[in-house]
A and B are shown apart, each in its own frame.
Chain A
Amino acid sequence: MNKVTDEAHVIEHPFLNISHIDMVFPTDNGGFTALKEVDLQIKKGEFISLIGHSGCGKSTVLNIVAGLYQATTGGILLKNKEVNEPGPERAVVFQNHSLLPWLTAYQNVELAVKQVFAKTMSKGEMKEWIEYNLKLVHMDHAMHKRPDEISGGMKQRVGIARALAMQPEVLLMDEPFGALDALTRAHMQDSLMEIQNELNNTVIMITHDVDEAVLLSDRIVMMTNGPEATIGEILDVNLERPRSRLSLAKDIEYNRLRSEVLTFLYEKQRKVENITSKKTTVKPQSTQSVKEA
């Protein structure tokens, strides 16, 4: 009919459409523009990594998709429906697991399953489904333990099981392995790839870790530094799956991608810590608002 719909046909109705998002946080001295013109279309089954320096608004993007924040302008369309509140179809894996400490691993997953499938599953089916998900993250041996009785990696596994058990359309992960030690993290990444191989979820994951991003993602979305952070570059990762960290270590393409991300983070978007030089790099408009403060 018109140009807009034609274009939409070209990108074949994105499964998840993050459409021209601005985020302005009210502060005592006027608004603080955290995000400016963030625009991203995601296909079903795609694994997206958001990478950028801390404070660049990655988490804000994720929280907007989750519905925990409302974008100031622009919006989120999931299967062509607008997102304006949190919901289990966009399950979140939080950075510090956020399991309910008074419930066992099983009960934590159960709370989510009961909430989502109360009408469609019988009690027995729910029990099976909970156990299936805990098995998927290799936590079936400790499912009746409480969070304070298991290690950090195990807690994060239960957090992932809880999110997966909601059978989300999109799985949102906010630095899921950020608080774990390197070995546990590698182990968790392998587990996640294995699960992803089986379920082929649509995933948005925030990470600080370049290797993690390249290893897990189909696309790496690199964000510029805030304020007014936006998407700087998008990198397609066309490495064959299943991927193995050992063989990839020597892979030319892997190392090229890795160095691209590193170049973006440490050359193009080098985080300027020095206050005096910051004034010169920040856009004139925001300098003014800082002065007004």
Chain B
Amino acid sequence: MSITTVNMGDISMSEKILQKAKRLLNKMANVLLLPVFGITLFLFLWAIAAQNINTSLGEFPGPTAVVEQFSALYDEHNTERDKAVAFYERQEVRNARKLAKNPDYVVKIRAYTGKETFIDQIFTSLITVTSGFLVAAVIAIPLGIWMGLSKRLNSALNPMIQIFKPVSPLAWLPLVTMVVSALYVSDDPMMSKSFLTSMITVSLCSLWPMVINTSIGVSSIDSDLLNVSKVLRLSTITHIKKIVLPASIPMIFTGMRLSFGVAWMVLIAAEMLAQNPGLGKFVWDEFQNGSSDSLARIMAAVVVIGFIGFLLDRAMLQLQRKVSWDKSSVSV
């Protein structure tokens, strides 16, 4: 009798463990196994499809070709860096020698002007997109708050925003280029025209989601909270600081995330045309170059662009989690 009960207990215990293991496995499957499976399937189909597409630049690159190009691009970066180091060393030695010969010699230091590597271009792109986005945010958020506070201003500006919002960056770019060339004239430019053109185009396109979301966030603040502010007779500035801003932070961040996504997409197109030395220019140059590696290198850039876009979105999400009081508004 007693033996059987012990056995029964054992069985239910092991069953429990089994169930737990099953649940864990299920979770693992959802988080890890299924995505890995999806990616593997995609790579497989890509490899097969690539073999069957012949372009004038040779076979369409499969996954292996792209991986090869990744390492090639990294090697190029390293050799380029080595060259730069060597250049500066030579320059130093030469200058030292000249100084030794002639103490009055005025030392000339020239910057290395080798070509940008893929990794340099990634950083250029990141800097351009961030500055464009920040410029847009500095304009859009105050404007959105003002529009949210004033129904009249909202009615006045809303039609314009709705019309400008869907405009493609490619349509803005020629205009921006010409305006920048005309107005940004300086002997010692702080930044290149191509950078400025790309940045402004990015700003123009990423402005709108932020304006719209901020103004909606502000105008939809609970009227009870506004009444609290009235009863307390908060001054306009305190009202904005203590009530309006915190209340609309979730919506402002939603707008910022949307805008950053738009900015990153727009950037590649803008860099292509403005020849800003970022990822867009890389893609364009490879396309014009037309070597047998070009397509694989462009594909490598596509993967990098996608991956960076994803990371930027995640970074914004983390920032939102940190800043926002409304945790329910922070979803993937």
Residues on A lying within 8 angstroms of B by beta carbon are: 66-68, 85-88, 90-92, 94, 96, 98, 100-102, 111-112, 115-116, 146, 166
Contacts and interface: CB of A to CB of B under 8 A. Distances in A.
B260 to A, nearest CB: 23
A61 B230 CA distance: 17
A98 B227 contact: yes
A111 B232 contact: yes
Contact of A94 (B228, B242, B326): B228
Contacts, number: 54
Interface string B311-332: 0000000000000011000000
A100 B234 contact: no
A18 B96 CA distance: 93
Contacts of B224: 94, 96, 98
A92 B247 CA distance: 20
A86 B231 contact: yes
A87 B231 CA distance: 5
B325 A102 contact: yes
26 contacts: A66-B227, A67-B230, A68-B227, A68-B231, A85-B233, A86-B231, A86-B233, A87-B233, A88-B231, A96-B224, A98-B224, A98-B225, A98-B227, A98-B228, A100-B225, A100-B228, A100-B243, A100-B246, A100-B247, A101-B326, A102-B326, A111-B242, A112-B232, A115-B233, A115-B238, A116-B232
A68 B232 contact: no
Most chain A beta carbons < 10 A, residue from B224, B231, B234: B231
Interface in B208-256: 222, 224-225, 227-228, 230-234, 238, 242-243, 246-247, 249
Nearest to A108: B228
A141 to B, nearest CB: 22
B225 A68 contact: no
Contacts of B234: 115
Given A101-B325, A102-B246, A94 B232 contact: no
Interface of B: 222, 224-225, 227-228, 230-234, 238, 242-243, 246-247, 249, 325-326
Contact of B231 (A92, A96, A102): A92
Contacts of A98: 222, 224-225, 227-228
Contacts of A116: 232
Contacts of A87: 231, 233
A167 B267 CA distance: 57
6 tightest A-B CB contacts, nearest first: A102-B325, A98-B224, A86-B230, A102-B246, A115-B232, A86-B231
Question: Does more than half of chain A's interface fall in helix, strand or loop, or is it mixed?
Answer: loop
A152 B122 CA distance: 52
A116 B234 CA distance: 10
B325 A90 contact: no
Given A88-B232, A92-B228, A116-B232, 7 more contacts: A66-B231, A67-B230, A86-B231, A92-B231, A98-B224, A100-B243, A102-B246
Nearest to A162: B228
Nearest to B250: A102
A86 B225 contact: no
Most chain B beta carbons < 10 A, residue from A88, A101, A166: A101
B231 to A, nearest CB: 5
B227 A92 contact: yes
Most chain A beta carbons < 10 A, residue from B232, B243, B246, B326: B232
B231 A90 contact: yes
A68 to B, nearest CB: 6
Contacts of A96: 224
A86 B238 CA distance: 16
A88 B227 contact: no
Contacts of B325: 101-102, 146
A101 B327 CA distance: 11
A180 B39 CA distance: 53
Contacts of A85: 230, 233
Given A100-B243, A102-B246, A102-B325, A94 B227 contact: yes
B75 to A, nearest CB: 51
A157 to B, nearest CB: 16
Contacts of B233: 85-88, 115
Contacts of A68: 227, 230-231
A116 B246 CA distance: 21
A85 B249 CA distance: 29
Contacts of B243: 100
A86 B246 contact: no
A86 B227 contact: yes
